[in-house]
Amino acid sequence: MELGHGSYEATVNTLAQAVKGRRYIAGDKFTAADIYLGSQIGWGLQCGTLEKRPEFVDYWHGLKGRPANKRAEAFTEKVGAQQAWADN
């Protein structure tokens, strides 16, 4: 299937090569590019719209394992639990 400037398959292959073996997409430090790209890859993996290639899974798990992400997830869970309790 052709979309835009190339096929979906070519785009996914290019993305897989871009993240393969890399902790962060734009160099040695976490950047806004990782927030954007990571959220797209994570959403795609979770919803089944992106195939679970090792390159994507490794990149996503690396981002999810960051201390700041763990704190954000804990906060979200806490607020969600408080909201659920308040709604009852």
Confidence label for 2 from pLDDT (cuts 50, 70 and 90): low
Question: Which amino acid, one-letter code, is at 14?
Answer: T
pLDDT digits (tens, 9 = 90+) for 22-77: 999 999 999 999 999 999 999 999 999 999 999 999 999 999 999 999 999 999 99
The H or E element containing residue 40 is helix 32-47
pTM of this structure: 0.80
Q: Domain boundaries in the chain?
A: 2-87
CA distance 85 to 34: 34
